[in-house]
Amino acid sequence: MTAATLISALYVFALAAFLGYQVISRVPPLLHTPLMSATNAISGISLVGSIVTAGAHYNTISTILGFTAVFCSTTNVVGGFVITDRMLRMFKRKPAAKEEKK
C-alpha cells in the first residue's frame, strides 16, 4: 500500500466518521427505534462480510482480522437487538391493575 493510498483511505474514513456523527446526532428521538433497526441490518451485512473474510484463508493476518471483525459485528448486532427491544418495551402499555372486590 502506497502512502498516497493510505492517506486517501484515512481521509475517507475521517470524512465518513464526521458525516456519520453529524447525521446521527440530528435524528429526533421519535425515529431512534427505526434507525436502530436499520443499523442492525447494516451490522448484519458487515457480519456476513467478516465471516467471508475470516474464512477465505488469504493469509494469517486476514484470518485474525476477520475473526476480530466477526466478534465485533456479532457484539454490535446482539447489542442493537437488546437496545431495540428495550426501547420497544418502553412504548408498551402496562396492564391495568385489577381492582379487588370486597
Q: What would the pLDDT profile of 21-59 be if each residue is shown by its tens digit?
A: 888 778 777 676 677 777 777 888 888 988 998 888 889
| Contact of 35 with 27, CB cutoff 8 Å | yes
The answer on pLDDT for 71 being more than 90 is yes
3-state secondary structure of 102: coil
How far is it, in rounded angstroms, from Cα 47 to Cα 50? 5
For the chain, state the CA radius of gyration: 21
pLDDT tens for each residue of 89-102 = 877 777 776 665 55
Closest to 80 in 3D by CA, of 30, 40, 26, 34: 40
**Alpha-helical segments (H) within 26-98:** 32-55, 60-90
